[in-house]
C-alpha cells in the first residue's frame, strides 16, 4: 500500500504548517509535542484513550445507510458516519478526551478552549468535568447569541464562558483571546485547540485523535458493502472531522475525497468562509495555510450560517492535500446546505448539525452529477454532529418561529420604508 | 554572517550607554488616531527623550496585544488604514528627528507583501528595521535574507520560558537588540516589574546577546530606572498609547519627559 499521505507528521505539510507563534509559547508547544509523541507510543496511554472512546463516548459510532436521502439526490448509495451519536453530540469529543489526557500528563489543572458553534466548548467543558479540571471557554459574542443553548450547556458543566467582543466576534477572535490567556497562564493551563489548525503539534495531534473516525468507517463500509466507497465527503472549517475520516482512505487512490467549505452567500459575493477556494497563502494562529485576507494581509471576516465553519483559514494538512490534488475542496452555499439539512430531517429522521449539512449537500451534488453512472457507487458522509443546537437557526431560516417574534423583527425592518413612503 | 550591517538601533542604544543610561524605546501605533497626529506624537516622543521609536502596524489579529493597544489599532483599521501609510510615517519621523525608527509588525503583513519587498520599502523610507512578535527565528528564512539584503535590524523576542539553546538562537538571529519579554502575558501596564525581567536579560546575555531591551508592562519612571539598571533599553507602549488617546501628542511628550527622567 502506498503510504504517501497517511500519518504525515508536522511541523510542515509541504509548504504549510510550522509554528508562527510568539516565543513565549514555544516552550509550551515543545512540551506538548514531546508529551504527545511519548504518549501515543505508550500502550498505557492508548489503552486509556480507547477505553474512554468506548465507554464514555460510545465508540465505535454507527455507519447508517441513508436510503431515502440518497434516492432524492441521485443513484449512488449514501452512508452516514454517525459522529452525531457520540456523547456531547459531535466528533469534537474524540480530540478533547485525548488532549485532556495529555494535559494530565503535563500536570496542567486548567483547560481553556475556543469555540464557534459551541460543540468544541461543550466537549472541553465535559472533559474538564470528567477529569476534575478548571475550564474557561472563549466564544465570540456573535456566537454566544447564535448558540445560546450551548452557552448554558457549558455553564451547567461547570465551565466559565467568556464572550469575546473584539473583531468579528466569531471563532477567529475567540482563538485570539484563548492565545492571550495561554501566554499568561501557560504554567498551569493547557490550551485545547479544537481543530487541526494552529501551530505544531496541534494539526498532527488533533488529527491523531480523530483518525479513529476514518479507521472505523473504512472497516464498516467494507463489512456493510463488501468494498471501498467511491467517495468520502466531509465539511471543512478548520478541518478536524474531515481529516479524521479522510485519514482512513488517504492511501486508497480509488477513493475520491471531497471537502466542503462554507460558501456562505456564495464565494463571488465575498461573504463566505471558503479559504481554500479563495486560494491565498498566509499565516494566522500559528500556521501557514490558505487564509482569507485582503491585499495588505489583514484577515478578512468570514461568513457562514454555520458558526462552526465560520473560520477564515483551514488546517495546513488540508492546504497540502489540496495542492497535491488528493482531496477536492468545493464551497457549499448556506442555501444549498439548508436544503440538504431539511432533506435529511424529512427523509431519514435525523437532524444534522448545520456544519455537517454542508457535507450532505456536497454528497447530494456529487450523486446528482454522476447521474445514472452513480448506480452501484457508494458515498460516505461524515455526519460530524447533531443539529439540536441549530434548531433556533433552522427555525429562523425556514420561518418556523412563533408569530409574535416574527412581528417584532419585521416591524423593525419595515420602519425605514414607512418613513420613506411618508 | 559575513555582511557588515550598521545597526541604527544598536547605535542609538550605544549612544545612550555612553551617557551612562539605558535607552528609552517608545511604541505608538501607526496612524492613531490619524496619520498626521501619529507623526506629531512620534516626534513629541523622540524630542522628549525617546532614543528609538517603535511604530506598530495595526493588524486584524494582534494576539500579543492587550485591550488598550487593541482598541487603538482596531479604530485605525476601521477607518480604512493601508500598509503604505506606515512607510510614510516612518519617512516623516526619520526625516524630522533622525532617530532610529523600527516597525513592530505581526508577520502576515510582511508575508503578504513579500519579505523582500517589505524590507525594500522599509529601508527606502529610512526605517531602522522591524520587531516581529509572532515570528521565531525557526520560521524566518525569508525575513533573515531580506533584512540582510537591505541592511535592516531584525529584533526577535526572548521569553522567560526560552531554553538556553533557544535564547542563543534568538541572540544569533537578532540584529540591533534582543527584545526581552519581561512577563508571561500580553501588552498592558502592570503595577510592578516582574522578577522575570532581570532573569531574561541575564539569560539572553549568557546566550550571547550584546544588547537586550525589556518590554511588556513598563509604565512608570520607577520601572524605567529599575529595568535600566540591568537592561540596555526599556520599552514602553501601552502607557504612551493611553496618553495619546487621552491627551494627544502633548500628553505623549509630557509622559516621555517623565519616563526619561527629564522632568
For residue A257, give the 3-state DSSP assignment: strand
Query: Cβ of B70 and A187 within 8 Å?
Result: no
Give CA separation, B82 vs A292, B31, B130, B132, B148, in Å: 17, 9, 18, 19, 26
Task: Report pLDDT for B262.
Answer: 86
Residues A121, A29, single domain; the answer is yes
pLDDT tens column, B67-76: 999 999 999 9
Strand-pairing partners, residue A12, are A17
CA A279 to chain centre: 20
**Is the bond preceding residue B84 a cis peptide, omega within 30 degrees?**
no
Query: Cβ of B134 and A293 within 8 Å?
Result: no
Nearest to A137 by CA among A146, A363, B231, A152: A152
Q: Is-contact A86 A65, C-beta < 8 A? A: no
Between CA A269 and CA A272 the distance in angstroms is 8
For cell 452529477, the residue is A369
Task: Report pLDDT for A227.
Answer: 98
Nearest to B245 by CA among B69, B79, B45, B93: B69
Residue in A22, A166, A295 nearest the CB of B134: A22
Pairing of strands A256-266, A231-236: parallel
Residues A254, A382, single domain; the answer is yes
- pLDDT band at residue B215 under the 50/70/90 scheme: confident
- pLDDT band at residue B58 under the 50/70/90 scheme: very high
**Interface predicted TM-score (ipTM) of this complex, two decimals:** 0.94
When the candidates are 3.40.50.2020, 3.40.50.2000, 3.30.2010.10, 3.20.20.70, the CATH number that belongs to B8-12+22-258 is 3.20.20.70
* Residue A311, in any domain of the structure: yes
Nearest to A291 by CA among A238, A358, A362: A238
Between CA A36 and CA A265 the distance in angstroms is 40
Query: Cβ of A167 and B62 within 8 Å?
Result: no
Q: Is-contact A279 A289, C-beta < 8 A? A: no
Beta strands in A334-376 (DSSP E): none
Nearest to B255 by CA among B211, B219, B208, B204: B219
- pLDDT band at residue A372 under the 50/70/90 scheme: very high
Give A181 to chain B, closest Cα distance, Å: 8
Q: Is-contact A56 A209, C-beta < 8 A? A: no
- pLDDT band at residue B4 under the 50/70/90 scheme: low
Give A223 to chain B, closest Cα distance, Å: 46
Residues A154, A245, single domain; the answer is no
Query: Cβ of B158 and A187 within 8 Å?
Result: no
Query: Cβ of B63 and A187 within 8 Å?
Result: no
Q: Is-contact A262 A332, C-beta < 8 A? A: yes
Task: Locate A178 and state its grid cell.
Answer: 484563548
Query: Cβ of A184 and B186 within 8 Å?
Result: yes
Pairing of strands A327-333, B157-158: unpaired
Give CA separation, A228 vs A224, A232, A253, in Å: 10, 10, 11
Q: Is-contact B53 B24, C-beta < 8 A? A: no
Give B69 to chain A, closest Cα distance, Å: 12
For residue B171, give the 3-state DSSP assignment: helix
Between CA A370 and CA A269 the distance in angstroms is 28
Q: What percent of chain B has pLDDT over 70?
A: 98
DSSP B175: B
Whether the CA torsion A10, A13, A14, A20 is positive or negative: it is: negative
Mean predicted confidence (pLDDT) in B40-53: 98
Task: Report pLDDT for B186.
Answer: 76
Q: Is-contact A70 A76, C-beta < 8 A? A: yes
Query: Cβ of B83 and A282 within 8 Å?
Result: no
Mean predicted confidence (pLDDT) in B134-140: 98
Residue A267 confidence (pLDDT) above 60: yes
For cell 448556506, the residue is A334
Nearest to A271 by CA among A294, A298, A233, A300: A300
Residue A414 confidence (pLDDT) above 50: no
Task: Report pLDDT for B1.
Answer: 45
* Residue A378, in any domain of the structure: yes
Residues A329, A227, single domain; the answer is yes
Task: Locate A358 and state its grid cell.
Answer: 454542508
For residue B90, give the 3-state DSSP assignment: helix
Mean pLDDT, rounded, of chain A: 93
Residues 96 through 155 of chain A touching chain B, CB cutoff 8 Å: none
pLDDT tens column, B118-134: 999 999 999 999 999 99
A158 touches chain B (CB under 8 A): no
Q: Phi first, then psi: give them for residue A137, nearest 5 degrees.
A: -115, 125
B222 touches chain A (CB under 8 A): no
Query: Cβ of B112 and A295 within 8 Å?
Result: yes
Mean predicted confidence (pLDDT) in A225-236: 98
pTM: 0.94
pLDDT tens column, A49-100: 999 999 999 999 999 999 999 999 999 999 999 999 999 999 999 999 999 9
Give A102 to chain B, closest Cα distance, Å: 20
Residues A36, A72, single domain; the answer is no
Task: Report pLDDT for A77.
Answer: 98
Residue in B64, B70, B111 nearest the CB of A22: B64
C-beta atoms surrounding A315 within 10 Å: 30
Nearest to A280 by CA among A299, A307, A266: A299
Residue B3 confidence (pLDDT) above 60: no
Nearest to A284 by CA among A260, A308, A319: A319
Angle between helices A92-106 and A119-131 (to 10 degrees): 40
Element (H, E) at A64: strand A63-65
Residues A159, A46, single domain; the answer is yes
pLDDT tens column, A117-133: 889 999 999 999 999 99
Task: Report pLDDT for A407.
Answer: 45
- pLDDT band at residue A142 under the 50/70/90 scheme: confident
A299 touches chain B (CB under 8 A): yes
pLDDT tens column, A306-360: 988 989 999 999 999 999 999 999 999 999 999 999 999 999 999 999 999 999 9
Query: Cβ of A299 and B136 within 8 Å?
Result: no
Residue B53 confidence (pLDDT) above 70: yes
Q: What percent of chain B has pLDDT over 90?
A: 87
C-beta atoms surrounding A153 within 10 Å: 22
Task: Report pLDDT for A3.
Answer: 57
Give B63 to chain A, closest Cα distance, Å: 5
Between CA A190 and CA A186 the distance in angstroms is 7
Task: Report pLDDT for B218.
Answer: 85
Domain that holds residue A96: 13-56+91-203
Q: H-type helices in A170-257, by residue range?
A: 171-185, 202-225, 240-247
Domain count, chain A: 2
Which residues of B are identified as catalytic? 54, 65
Q: Is-contact A193 A102, C-beta < 8 A? A: no
Between CA A330 and CA A260 the distance in angstroms is 5
Task: Locate B220 and state its grid cell.
Answer: 512608570
Between CA B7 and CA B22 the distance in angstroms is 17
Contacts of A27 in chain B (CB under 8 A): 159, 161-163, 166
Q: Number of A to B CB contacts under 8 A, please give it.
A: 108
Residues 162 through 191 of chain B touching chain A, CB cutoff 8 Å: 162-163, 166, 170, 181, 183-186
Query: Cβ of A22 and B157 within 8 Å?
Result: yes
B246 touches chain A (CB under 8 A): no
pLDDT tens column, A193-204: 999 999 999 999
B46 touches chain A (CB under 8 A): no
Q: Which residue has the higher pLDDT, B124 or B218?
A: B124
Query: Cβ of A23 and B136 within 8 Å?
Result: yes
B74 touches chain A (CB under 8 A): yes
Residue A252 confidence (pLDDT) above 50: yes
Residue B201 confidence (pLDDT) above 60: yes
Residue A420 confidence (pLDDT) above 80: no
Give A14 to chain B, closest Cα distance, Å: 14
For residue B125, give the 3-state DSSP assignment: coil
Residue A411 confidence (pLDDT) above 60: no
Give CA separation, B226 vs A294, B25, B71, B74, in Å: 43, 15, 29, 32
Contacts of A298 in chain B (CB under 8 A): 59-60, 77, 109
DSSP A307: G
Residue in B61, B82, B184 nearest the CB of A176: B61
Contacts of A186 in chain B (CB under 8 A): 161, 184
Amino acid at each position: 500500500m502506498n503510504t504517501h499521505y497517511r500519518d504525515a507528521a508536522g511541523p510542515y505539510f509541504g509548504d504549510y504548517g510550522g509554528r508562527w507563534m510568539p516565543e513565549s509559547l514555544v516552550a509550551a508547544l515543545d512540551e506538548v509535542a514531546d508529551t504527545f509523541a511519548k504518549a501515543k507510543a505508550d500502550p498505557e496511554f492508548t489503552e486509556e484513550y480507547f477505553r474512554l472512546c468506548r465507554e464514555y463516548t460510545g465508540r465505535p459510532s454507527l455507519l447508517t445507510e441513508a436510503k431515502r436521502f440518497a434516492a432524492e439526490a441521485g443513484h449512488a448509495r449514501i452512508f452516514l458516519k454517525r459522529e452525531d451519536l457520540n456523547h456531547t453530540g459531535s466528533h469534537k469529543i474524540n480530540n478533547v478526551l485525548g488532549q485532556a489526557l495529555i494535559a494530565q500528563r503535563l500536570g496542567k489543572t486548567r483547560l481553556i478552549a475556543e469555540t464557534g458553534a459551541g460543540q468544541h466548548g461543550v466537549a472541553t467543558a465535559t472533559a474538564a468535568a470528567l477529569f476534575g479540571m478548571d475550564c474557561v471557554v472563549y466564544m465570540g459574542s456573535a456566537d454566544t447569541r447564535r448558540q445560546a443553548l450551548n452557552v448554558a450547556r457549558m455553564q451547567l458543566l461547570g465551565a466559565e464562558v467568556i464572550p469575546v467582543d473584539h473583531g468579528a466576534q466569531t471563532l477567529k477572535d475567540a482563538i485570539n483571546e484563548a492565545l492571550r490567556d495561554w501566554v499568561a497562564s501557560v504554567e498551569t493551563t493547557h490550551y485545547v485547540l479544537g481543530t487541526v489548525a494552529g501551530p505544531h503539534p496541534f494539526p498532527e495531534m488533533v488529527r491523531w485523535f480523530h483518525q479513529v473516525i476514518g479507521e472505523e468507517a473504512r472497516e464498516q463500509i467494507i463489512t456493510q458493502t463488501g468494498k471501498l466507497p467511491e467517495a468520502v465527503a466531509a465539511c471543512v472549517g478548520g478541518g478536524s472531522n474531515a481529516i479524521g475520516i479522510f485519514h482512513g482512505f488517504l492511501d486508497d487512490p480509488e477513493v475520491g475525497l471531497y471537502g466542503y467549505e462554507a460558501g456562505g452567500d456564495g464565494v463571488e459575493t465575498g461573504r463566505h468562509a471558503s479559504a481554500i477556494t479563495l486560494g491565498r497563502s498566509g499565516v494566522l494562529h500559528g500556521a501557514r495555510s490558505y487564509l482569507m485576507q485582503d491585499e495588505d494581509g489583514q484577515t478578512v471576516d468570514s461568513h457562514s450560517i454555520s458558526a462552526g465553519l465560520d473560520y477564515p483559514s483551514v488546517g495546513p494538512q488540508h492546504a497540502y492535500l489540496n495542492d497535491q490534488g488528493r482531496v477536492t475542496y468545493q464551497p457549499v452555499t448556506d442555501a444549498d446546505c439548508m436544503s440538504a439539512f431539511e432533506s435529511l430531517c424529512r427523509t431519514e429522521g435525523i437532524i444534522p448539525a448545520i456544519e455537517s449539512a454542508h457535507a450532505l449537500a456536497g454528497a447530494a451534488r456529487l450523486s446528482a452529477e454522476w447521474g445514472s453512472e452513480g448506480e452501484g457507487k457508494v458515498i460516505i458522509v461524515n455526519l460530524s454532529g447533531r443539529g439540536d443546537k441549530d434548531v433556533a437557526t433552522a427555525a429562523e431560516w425556514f420561518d418556523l418561529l412563533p408569530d409574535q417574534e416574527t412581528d417584532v423583527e419585521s416591524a423593525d425592518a419595515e420602519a425605514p420604508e414607512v418613513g420613506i413612503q411618508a | 554572517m559575513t555582511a557588515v550591517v550598521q545597526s541604527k538601533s544598536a547605535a542609538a542604544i550605544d549612544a545612550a550607554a555612553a551617557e551612562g543610561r539605558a535607552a528609552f524605546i517608545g511604541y505608538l501605533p501607526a496612524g492613531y488616531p490619524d496619520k498626521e497626529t501619529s507623526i506629531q506624537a512620534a516626534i513629541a516622543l523622540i524630542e522628549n527623550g525617546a532614543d528609538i521609536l517603535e511604530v506598530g502596524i495595526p493588524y486584524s489579529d494582534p494576539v500579543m496585544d492587550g485591550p488598550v493597544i487593541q482598541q487603538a489599532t482596531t479604530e485605525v483599521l476601521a477607518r480604512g488604514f493601508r500598509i503604505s501609510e506606515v512607510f510614510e510615517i516612518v519617512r516623516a519621523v526619520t526625516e524630522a528627528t533622525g532617530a532610529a525608527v523600527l516597525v513592530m509588525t505581526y508577520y502576515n503583513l510582511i508575508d503578504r507583501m513579500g519579505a523582500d519587498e517589505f524590507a525594500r520599502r522599509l529601508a527606502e523610507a529610512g526605517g531602522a528595521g522591524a520587531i516581529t512578535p509572532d515570528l521565531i527565528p525557526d520560521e524566518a528564512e525569508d525575513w533573515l535574507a531580506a533584512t540582510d539584503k537591505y541592511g535592516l535590524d531584525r529584533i526577535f523576542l526572548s521569553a522567560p520560558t526560552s531554553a538556553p539553546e533557544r535564547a542563543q538562537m534568538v541572540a544569533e538571529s537578532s540584529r540591533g537588540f534582543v527584545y526581552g519579554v519581561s512577563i508571561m502575558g500580553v501588552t498592558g501596564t502592570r503595577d510592578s516589574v516582574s522578577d522575570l525581567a532581570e532573569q531574561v536579560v541575564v539569560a539572553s546575555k549568557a546566550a550571547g546577546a550584546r544588547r537586550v531591551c525589556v518590554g511588556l508592562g513598563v509604565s512608570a519612571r520607577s520601572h524605567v530606572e529599575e529595568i535600566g539598571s540591568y537592561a540596555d533599553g526599556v520599552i514602553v507602549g501601552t502607557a504612551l498609547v493611553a496618553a495619546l488617546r487621552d491627551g494627544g501628542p502633548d500628553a505623549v511628550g509630557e509622559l516621555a519627559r517623565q519616563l526619561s527622567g527629564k522632568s
